[in-house]
Amino acid sequence: MAYPYSHPSEVRILSKYFGDPEARTLKGWEARGGYQGLRKALGMERGDVVNEVKTSGLRGRGGAGFPTGVKWSFMPKDSGKPHFLLCNADESEPGTFKDRELMRWTPHQLIEGCLIGAYAIQASHAYIYIRGEFFEPAQILARAIEEAYAAGYAGKDVIGSGVTLDITLHLGAGAYICGEETGLMNSLEGRRGEPRVKPPFPAVSGAFAKPTTINNVETLCTVPHILTNGGAWYRQWGTEKSTGTKLFCVSGHIARPGNYEMPLGFNFKEFLYDVCGGIPNDRKLKAVIPGGSSVPIMAADEIDVPMDYEGFVAAGTMLGAGSVIVMDETTDIIRQVGRMVDFYSHESCGQCTPCREGTTWASKIYRRIRAGFGTEDDLQTLLDISDNMTGKTICVLSDSCAAPIVSSIQKFRDEYLAVVERSEPVVAEIA
């Protein structure tokens, strides 16, 4: 059974077995070359495993894009304390749906990555923090973890190496902020998922006040392939600074939504129009968000850029988690940005005043504008609030709320003005 819409420009490494139910089972995964990376890693020094990942140039796929090997090398050597590896499977950035597919189709790929990662950072216990809504992926992963334990890939004396690697699946309970790494650690510890002030950084004092590394699902899924084939092999795709392949989740007004595994550096315009089939119903593109709701919006004339960490930054936005949200010419930008602001207002944990108040004010202003009671001054007020929400809080949730506000006012100011100058209130439109 082929995964629908495979495109010749794709390079399917992580997503090769999407759509293949056999790959979910331990037997099926072993038959597809699974657990070779773990065997190889356990035969290497821990430092060499880290170096192999450094060589590959793999960067964190959760949004920040920090080099994974470098992150691992921050873990203290011989600290005498237990270390922990946390896998961030709290995928909840609007527009993102790659981790869910990775977990439901290839659970063993993630387990193998967690085991290798835990070994590399001298952890004997890895926790996979999966968001509470993902019952189905959690059940698939649970079954796979039980299989891995039964086959001796996890637990004491992993495949005869003498190394202990435990793995525990932990279900969240519905909070976007738990995808922030320190919020996730608090949630794992049985606290409210409120982000912590850094420093101390997780590598010094993370989960249970022990040295901790947190990696995204996609990052860890890539690790077994790097170990099996070598770091240099992975560099054959992508660019010098953005190596390898990345899953892009495409949603919104697009002919073929879904997950596409593309070599980094691929042209974004070609991606949207050729690989994903363009905008349906003969409509024109209006705007696109390239990395999930937290990154600045791009206007239609800005999309001729390479899809890599640097390319999107040069275009004034970010690669983020690779969550491409496409909006056609019929889209009401104010309504959609307002909806994103509502989301951040709902998900703010409330610790920091600029975020707790700012997201709520912004949400109210958007509702007022849409109801027809907006004024031109509201635009400046939104920009002022956004300024106060950027770089002034413990985590970046409020920055994420400000990004679409500021970029949409910059790029679609005329549309805002047309609405605030509208003479009659349109109360019925309030969502």
Partner 1 sequence: MSVNDKNPGFAGDTGEFPNLTEADIRGTAYVGTRPLDGGHASVAGTMPYQLATRGPAEGPIFTGPYEERLAKVISRYPDRQAALLPALHIAHEVRGYVSPEAMEEVAERLQLPPAYVRGVTTFYTMYNLQPLGKYLIQVCTNISCNLCGGEDVLHAFLEATGTEMGEVSADGLYTVIEVECLGACGFPTAVQINERYFENVKPADVPTILEQLR
113 sits near partner 1 (criterion: CB under 8 A): no
- Per CB under 8 A, 10 contacts partner 1: no
Residue in 39, 46, 67, 94 binding partner 1, rule: CB under 8 A: 94
Q: How far is the CB of 425 from partner 1 (least distance, A)?
A: 20
- Shortest Å, Cβ 4 to partner 1: 5
In the bound state with partner 1, the residue whose beta carbon lies nearer, of 67 and 82, is: 82
Binding to partner 1 in span 402-431, by CB under 8 A: 431
Spatial separation of the C-alpha atoms in residues 93 and 320, rounded to whole Å: 10
Regarding 66 and contact with partner 1 (CB under 8 A), the answer is: no
Q: Which is nearer to partner 1, 14 or 169 (CB)?
A: 169
Q: Which of 44, 64, 70, 142 binds partner 1 (CB under 8 A)?
A: 142
- 92 touching partner 1, by CB under 8 A: yes
Give 35 or 97: the residue with its C-beta nearer to partner 1: 97
Q: Of 84, 49, 81, give the one whose Cα is nearest residue 68.
A: 49
Helix axes 376-389, 397-411, angle to 10 degrees: 150
- Position 33 contacts partner 1 (CB under 8 A): no
Q: Segment 341-370, which members bind partner 1 (CB under 8 A)? A: 343, 346-347, 349
Q: How many residues bind partner 1 (CB under 8 A)?
A: 81
314: how many CB neighbours lie within 10 A of its CB? 11
Residue 216 is a binding residue for partner 1 (CB under 8 A) = no
Residue 325 and residue 400: Cα distance in Å, rounded? 15
The total of other beta-carbon atoms located within 10 Å of residue 315's CB is 17
Can you tell me which of 131, 225, 370, 411 binds partner 1, judged by CB under 8 A? Answer: 131
* CA distance linking residue 429 with residue 226, whole number of Å: 51
Positions 248 through 277 that interact with partner 1 (CB under 8 A): 249-253, 256-259
Site for partner 1 in 279-298 (CB under 8 A): 289, 293
At its nearest, how many Å lie between partner 1 and the CB of residue 9? 16
> How far apart are the C-alpha atoms of 66 and 219, rounded to whole Å?
11
Which listed range, 91-99, 112-120, 360-368, 412-420, lies at the site for partner 1 (CB under 8 A)? 91-99
Under rule CB under 8 A, residue 115 binds partner 1: no
Tokens 């004092």 -> residue: 205
64 in contact with partner 1 (CB under 8 A): no
Region from 156-164, 198-206, 243-251, 366-374 binding partner 1, contact rule CB under 8 A:
243-251
Residues 152-191 that bind partner 1 (CB under 8 A): 154, 166-176, 187-191
Residue 276 CB, shortest distance to partner 1, in Å, is 9
Tell me: does residue 141 bind partner 1 (CB under 8 A): yes
Q: Does 206 bind partner 1 (CB under 8 A)?
A: no
Q: Two tokens at 415?
A: 């549309």
Q: Does the protein bind partner 1 through residue 151 (CB under 8 A)? A: no
CB of 195 to partner 1, least distance (A): 13
